């Protein structure tokens, strides 16, 4: 933090989806100072990729070492919670959840009563829906036009896609989001999109703000 107690730089990382090696590589490339900078993860840590357990475990350990980290919730974490509660199980498994089940099973956690380690369960329960600073709003999927941040539905925050992507609306602050895979980062006056489809063979992306510098792995 600087003398005013304000973070110097903001770093945001897009959808990881179990791509553990890319995550480690990306963290290694970033010129982040954890004492003065803030790191925000935009959700979708799990599903589709091979190493969901490893990603979550790594993030939990990272947070123990570095305080200035914010974890946001993605739609895949919501689907996972529903799956664990016995709701929409097929929808989850058919949207990349099978790979998460396999990843946890490899570490000795079989579906059942205590399927998820307690520490991981706490991680999922404590995810935020958005994070706001003086100039930016960080969110997994996006916002609905003409609705105050406090009035946005969880469904929109986690799932909205084309209505937000195509929006030219001034939200008052630049929205930094993931969720919708793009060939390269999207930079518009009202939004910055950084899900570049890591799990589909493309890169995992981080943006450094306010400098607007991108890191890829």
Tokens of 113: 């009563």
Q: Is the dihedral of CA 19, 179, 72, 186 positive or negative?
A: positive
Q: Could you please report the per-residue DSSP string of 184-205? A: S-EEETTEEE----GGGTS--E
Rama region for 4: left / alpha / beta (φ>0; ψ in -120 to 50; rest): alpha
CA angle, 55 then 198 then 175, to 5°: 90
Using alpha carbons, list the distances in angstroms from residue 117 to 67, 75, 120, 124. 22, 21, 5, 11
Q: How far does CA 17 lie from the centroid of its chain?
A: 9
Give the H/E segment covering residue 11: strand 10-13
| Catalytic residue check, 76 | yes
Choose, from 76, 120, 140, 179, the residue flagged as catalytic.
76
**Cα–Cα dist 16/11, whole Å:** 15
For residue 177, the cross-strand partners are 139, 193
10 Å Cβ neighbour count for 15?
Answer: 30
Positions marked active-site: 76
């Amino acid at each position: 933090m600087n003398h005013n107690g304000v973070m110097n730089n903001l770093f945001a990382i897009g959808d990881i989806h179990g791509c553990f090696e890319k995550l480690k590589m990306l963290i290694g490339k970033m010129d982040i100072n954890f004492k003065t900078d803030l790191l925000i993860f935009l959700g979708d840590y799990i599903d589709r990729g091979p190493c969901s357990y490893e990603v979550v475990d790594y993030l939990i350990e990272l947070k123990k070492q570095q305080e200035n980290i914010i974890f946001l919730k993605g739609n895949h974490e919501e689907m996972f919670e529903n799956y664990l509660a016995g709701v929409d199980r097929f929808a989850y498994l058919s949207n990349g959840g099978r790979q998460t089940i396999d990843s946890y099973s490899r570490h000795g956690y079989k579906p059942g009563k205590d399927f998820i380690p307690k520490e991981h369960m706490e991680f999922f329960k404590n995810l935020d829906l958005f994070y706001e600073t003086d100039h930016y709003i960080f969110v997994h999927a996006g916002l609905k036009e003409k609705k105050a941040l406090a009035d946005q539905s969880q469904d929109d925050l986690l799932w909205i896609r084309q209505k937000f992507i195509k929006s030219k609306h001034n939200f008052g602050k630049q929205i930094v989001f993931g969720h919708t895979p793009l060939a390269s980062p999207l930079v518009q006056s009202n939004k910055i999109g950084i899900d570049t489809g890591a799990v589909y063979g493309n890169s995992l992306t981080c943006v450094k703000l306010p400098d607007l510098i991108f890191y890829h792995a």
